[in-house]
Amino acid sequence: MTALSTKHLLGIKDLTPDDINLILDTAESFKEVINRPIKKVPSLRDLTIANLFFENSTRTKLSFELAEKRLSADVINFAASSSSVKKGETLIDTVNNILAMKVDMVVMRHPNPGAAVFLSKHIDAKIVNAGDGAHEHPTQALLDAFSIKQTLGSVKGKKIAIIGDILHSRVALSNIFCLQKLGAEVMVCGPTTLIPKYIESLGVKVENNLRKALEWCDVANMLRIQLERQDIKFFPSLREYTMLFGLNKEILDSLSKKIVVMHPGPINRGVEITSDVADSDQSIILEQVENGVAVRMAVLFLLAGRG
Amino acid sequence: MMKPRIILDSKHFEITVTRLCYQLIEVHNDFSNTVIIGLQPRGIYLAKRIQTKLQEILKKKDIKCGSLDITFYRDDFRKKELVPNRTEIDFIIEDKNVIMVDDVLFTGRTIRAGLDAMLAFGRPNDVELLVLIDRRLSRHLPIQAKYVGKTIDSIISEKVVVEWKETDKSDKVTLISN
């Protein structure tokens, strides 16, 4: 296979396993590129890419921007907080105005689920979803799968537990789709209030006991408690959450095997994960960040190649 | 379709590779400051073959040979779908004499991309091109090889197929006309 089956990257749900494998294989080539003395290739030198961030982001925004620059694309950045969105402009108007300046691709993060799909139906540019509300975050899932593949050799047959705030997490949903398409087993673990009611229909296991989840898995993907998305109280206190679902060195060392610890960031040290775990040799959190650039380069490269 | 014409059979293939090696030794002596870089995907077989043969002739084991992928540097990206290969260069090419190796020299565009791609690994002292087959009437760019296995005259619609015993059972070069 040499081309993606899709023109946009809106979510992992639309990708075939072949698409995902093509992206991961291409990302390996780009990982070699970004470890060279000269980290730049001229592949996208004739393209202009707009990064539209209607929601705050550090890692994803920097990672996309670096990926674009290392592919030699021209980059324009847009943050909703300092733009005319505040003056009442609609999403389509904002984007069409940006496209009128001859932009070829749009990377967008938006607080509303489905924003990227909506945009892809109304405008004539390639869209990469960099997170839409609590729906999907496809490049994060791809870089997580890539990191698992690099650490454990393959994703197929591995057991991955996603632990924490599943309800508000786009990372969880994209990860479930991506890992299942690659043949992994997925479990979600967290307080019942933070696990979506019908999540079993996606074919994942559900567990409320952290220790049981950790004993079962090869990889634990710890998620942040998204307080900014929680309008009601889902658990009595952060302290209680940490006691029941926080990953600390004591639990990690008491497990019967060595598991891999991941986190999509930003981490709340001392809440879902303690510092000594986050900085331990079982944690691949910083590798995930490095791989993020390579994976995003692969996504942009492959989408651009689709005429 | 006409019957494929054999340009090099396995015996002449071997003779040609050996001759290319002796030509290289004439210029580069003991290869102490010279490295070989094969272009992905098909040039790496010739590069490896030449490395092995040179080590055999010179009785030394440290002739450096790397493979370079040029996908990200091509000028026909987005005109066709391309899948990148591995780049493996675990030495520095700064101030080295580089022998760039590919199987067939056709339009010259691959070599152009290869020269660009190589600059990411340093500034070589000198770069020479070695090819197994030179399709001399098909060039789009002012690029010529210094070492040539065999020169052939062919038209654009014809296709040169190089087979390697590593992947295709035997060493063979054929010309196919459509």
Is residue B23 assigned to a domain? Answer: no
Closest among A141, A188, A174 to A24, alpha carbons compared: A141
Domain interval for residue B136: 35-156
Q: For residues A54-60, give the mean pLDDT.
A: 88
Nearest by CB to B81, from A3, A28, A40: name it. A3
Taking CA–CA distances from A297, the nearest residue in chain B reads B72
If you average pLDDT over every residue of chain B, what do you get? 90
Share of chain A above pLDDT 90, in %: 77
Cβ–Cβ gap B83/A38 under 8 Å: no
Provide mean pLDDT across the span B100-128. Answer: 93
Residue A234 has pLDDT above 90, yes or no: no
CATH number where B39 lies: 3.40.50.2020
CA–centroid distance for A230 within its chain = 20
pLDDT of residue A86 exceeding 90, the answer is no
CB A267 within 8 A of CB A273: yes
Best of B70, B73, B76, B83 to mutate (most A CBs within 10 Å, chain A): B83
In A, which residues are within 8 Å of B75 by CB distance? none
Residue B12 lies in a domain: no
Contacts 24+ apart (CB under 8 A), B12-21: B13/B171, B13/B172, B13/B173, B14/B171, B16/B132, B16/B149, B16/B150, B17/B46, B17/B49, B17/B50, B17/B53, B17/B132, B17/B149, B18/B53, B19/B149, B20/B50, B20/B130, B20/B147, B20/B149, B21/B50, B21/B53, B21/B54, B21/B57
Residue B97 lies in a domain: yes
- Residues contacting A201, CB < 8 A, separation 6+: none
Which residues are CB-contacts of A241 (< 8 A; sequence separation ≥ 6)?
Answer: A191, A225, A235, A271, A272
**pLDDT reported for residue A84:** 67
Provide the number of structural domains found in chain B.
Answer: 1
Q: Give the pLDDT of residue A258.
A: 95
Taking all residues of chain A, what is their mean pLDDT, rounded to a whole number? Answer: 92
Phi, psi for residue B118 in degrees, rounded to 5: -65, -30
pLDDT category at B114 given cuts 50, 70, 90 is very high
Q: Which fold has domain A12-137+291-305?
A: Rossmann fold (3.40.50)
**Is the Cβ pair B78, A301 closer than 8 Å?**
no
B78/A307 CB distance under 8 A = yes
User: Least CB-CB distance to B120: which of A2, A36, A43?
Assistant: A36
Per the CB < 8 Å rule, is A43 touching B122? no
In a domain? residue B152: yes
Beta bridge partners of B173: B8, B162
Please give the Cα distance from B5 to B28 (Å, whole number): 35
Specify which residues A50 forms β-bridges with.
Answer: A76, A106
The angle subtended at Cα A9 by Cα A187 and Cα A79, nearest 5°, is 100
Question: Pairing relation of β-strands A219-222 and A159-163?
Answer: parallel
**Domain A138-288: which topology?**
Rossmann fold (3.40.50)
pLDDT digits (tens, 9 = 90+) for A73-83: 999 998 877 66
Is there a catalytic annotation at residue A87?
yes
Q: How far apart are CA A19 and CA A12, in angstroms?
A: 10
Q: With beta carbons less than 8 A apart as the criterion, state whether A67 and A59 touch.
A: no
Are B116 and A25 a contacting pair at CB < 8 A?
no
Predicted confidence at residue A302, as pLDDT, reads 93
Q: Does A33 touch chain B (CB under 8 A)?
A: yes
Is the Cβ pair B77, A25 closer than 8 Å? no
pTM for the model stands at 0.88
Closest B-chain CA to A47: B78
Catalytic site residue A239?
no
Is A59 a catalytic site residue?
A: yes
Assess B76–A contact: CB distance below 8 Å, yes or no.
Answer: no
* pLDDT band, residue A307 (cuts 50/70/90): low
Whether B78 maps to a domain, the answer reads: yes
The residue annotated as part of the active site, out of A31, A137, A149, A296, is: A137
Separation CA A37–CA A170 (nearest Å):
35
Q: Is A32 in Cβ contact with B86 (below 8 Å)?
A: yes
Domain with CATH 3.40.50.1370 in chain A: 12-137+291-305, 138-288
* Model pLDDT for residues B45-87, shown as the tens digit of each residue: 999 999 999 999 999 889 999 999 999 898 877 777 677 888 8
Secondary structure (DSSP) of chain B: -PPPEEEE-HHHHHHHHHHHHHHHHHHHTT-TTEEEEEETTTHHHHHHHHHHHHHHHHT-S---EEEE--GGG-SSBTTB-------B--S--TT-EEEEEEEEESSSHHHHHHHHHHGGG---SEEEEEEEEEEGGG-SSS---SEEEEEE---TTEEEEEE-HHHHSS-EEEEEE-
Sheet strands (E) in A219-259? 219-222
